A and B are shown apart, each in its own frame.
Chain A
Amino acid sequence: MRILIAEDDFASRKFMQKYLTNFGDCDITIDGEEAVEAFKMALEDNEPYDLICLDIMMPAMDGYQVLKVVREIEKENNRTGDEAVKIIMTTALNAERNIKAAFDMGCTVYCAKPIDLDKFEEVLKKIGITVEK
């Protein structure tokens, strides 16, 4: 399982990394631009990510921009349906408009902060991210 975490806040980043390491190899970026770069590189190397965790409020490129670009690149490369990477947006923004916008742009899970870990675990199961043996 290959996982990319894009998060500018140190504490959140550390937490996500620690938590998601159980599920696979985690790469970390601290802004949106870098996240897009990492995504492209992984695709070119033919080792695409299975999961991207995106913060929304990030410098350089925000989570929405990253989400949009990632889905566009996938479309160009015909990676849709089950082949498309699962994207979880993690954010303190919890207004309906934010959530609708994220869903419209193709995010898989919208997870408001502070993260409800029970539900987070449940959702990972539902979207097919399971603990590596």
Chain B
Amino acid sequence: MYRESWEKDFMQSYIGLEDNFLLENGYLVARLEEIVLAAAAPAWFSEEDINEIFRIMHTIKSSAGIMMYENISILSHKLEDVFSYLRKTYPDNQPFEELAAGILKTADFITAELIKIQSSASADGDSTDIITYLGRLLDKMNEDSESPVPEQAYEIPNQFYIAPKAGTAKKYYHIKVFYRLGTEMSNVCAYSCVFALNDITDEIIYKPANLENNDSAGEIMRNGFQLQFSTLSRIEEIKEIIESSSGEKEFEILDSSIEEYYRGFPESGVPDLVINLDDDWTDPDELVAGAYVIKKEGGKIKSMSGVPARSLPKQEMFQISFDKVNELFALADRLREEAGAVTGFGAGNDGTTNDAYGISNALTETVNELWRLVNSIKKVQFKSLFQKMDRAVYDISRKLGKVVQFNPESEEIEIGRNIADLLTETLIHLIRNAIDHGIEDKETRKAAGKNAKGAIELTAGVDGEEISIVIYDDGCGLDSKKIFAAAEEKGLTDGQEIDKYNAQDIYRFILMPGFSTKERVTEYSGRGVGLDIVVQNITSLGGRLYIDSQLGEWTEISLRLPRN
């Protein structure tokens, strides 16, 4: 059993290369999209943009190459090549729209592949179409140029990384064995247990380690015998092996990890956890470090495992700011100190009694702070959803041939990560409606004396216990007469006359399932999927929706969502 010190050092950084690849490239691809969207208004990539895109593609190319994701790597190379050309020539006639389309296609392709890798599917996407597209674009730029730049061939990387085969990984276990009171020579029993387990594992570490020494028997009886190992065997087999080894005992099989394995056992004297749900700890004198008991239900083996080898999907990851990690660490550190004070409570070395009230207050305060911080980590800034909306506006307006200026604005509002996706999807649905049904085409707008560029404004703010989100467009507005006629035709009006309804009530008809006054069905806002889905989503988030409009001038949809 050898354990070199460097291994422990290296193991301190636990995140695997593949996880890091996913995280880093996910960030880079989002950045690509951000650059394109920011450059869309001037319709021009600055030198700075060009350099950054070039660097991003170079980074993705290299890491994907090492990871053997050749489709990503070769595509990234091609886009890098395009931007290498732009970097060298910086031409005056930059084909912005074509370049932007190429970058977004590339970004979307890589995103799709990253999702596959994340969920352990094979990243088998075919990027040849996009490569061809970029190749043609490069050729065309070269033709138009007075100083053509030769194409750079893709070079196969000279170092590779192979991620561990998913699903077949050895599982790590941490086992605690407690021999029945009065067991003689428990060290020998423990040895027989280690010996038996040797068949199903390469290496076992255990505590106490000096089993040939009879003194270890005492420690085993007091604190139990602990083992850590990895194996491909199933948990039933492990149970059987331990049961068949010498001595009457109870044991507990805990899931562990390679990290924990390399960390080894906690330093002696430091209890890892005090778990005793049955006893009433009224007498603090009993609470001395090391005197902890891990209780099990009467004779039953409490297994926290029993699940077959953890198969993927892998964990979902998100980025967290260093500040928050530092705060988290500081709080954890404080908790540790305060927990130490509680454990040592009443047993002060200097003979003084500790201040129970003070300790308890400090502990409560720290726990509350920790709760608040962890809670905030679970949230995201509402503003962070804007990029997806920006991208939607970019795609939809181009597809529909409309010119739209999207202006999102928000106060500092935090929303739960769990509802972020649904909310984004819902807002994009509303924005899509606004572009498709609200904003008129250029000619119509000009004829109506409006700015050729349509405007969509999204404004979010906090109002008491509610979040208010307003989406405004300066399009054609809602025609209450048309809406009413359609509602009447669909039998939604109870046979009442139009003058019995106020405008708000009439607008609400468009929220009903299946309602649509739009004759043309487009890819983006088809007849079937209507505002009723939006209403459903908003209701599921505990919110409400209002509509207001001025025919020919504007439409405004307001959402009210509870803050929590």
- CB within 8 Å of B: which residues of A? 9, 11, 57, 59, 62, 64, 92-99, 101, 103, 107-117, 119-120, 122-123, 126-127
Contact = CB atoms under 8 A, between A and B. Distances in A.
A123 B2 contact: no
B15 A110 contact: no
Interface stretch (B155-163, B327-335, B455-463): B155-163
A99 B12 CA distance: 13
A57 B7 CA distance: 9
A10 to B, nearest CB: 9
Contact of B161 (A57, A99, A113, A127): A99
Given A9-B202, A62-B4, A96 B162 contact: no
Interface in B466-491: none
Interface of B: 2, 4, 6-7, 9-17, 20, 66, 68, 156, 158-166, 168-170, 202, 230, 258
Contact of A110 (B6, B7, B13, B161): B161
B159 A103 contact: yes
A119 B156 CA distance: 15
A64 B6 contact: yes
Given A9-B202, A57-B7, A95 B162 contact: no
Q: Is the interface of B mostly helix, strand, loop or mixed?
A: loop
Contacts of B9: 97
B68 A94 contact: no
Contacts of A126: 68, 156, 160
A95 B15 contact: yes
A101 B161 CA distance: 13
B7 A108 contact: no
Contacts of B14: 95
Contact of B162 (A59, A92, A103, A123): A123
A112 B163 contact: yes
Nearest to A58: B2
Contacts of A98: 10
A96 B20 contact: yes
Nearest to B6: A64
Contacts of B170: 92, 114
Nearest to B232: A114
A48 B549 CA distance: 82
A114 B306 CA distance: 22
A110 B17 CA distance: 11
A109 B160 CA distance: 5
B169 A114 contact: yes
B164 A114 contact: yes
Contact of A116 (B2, B16, B165): B165
Contacts of A11: 202
A101 B163 CA distance: 16
Contact of A122 (B68, B161, B168): B68
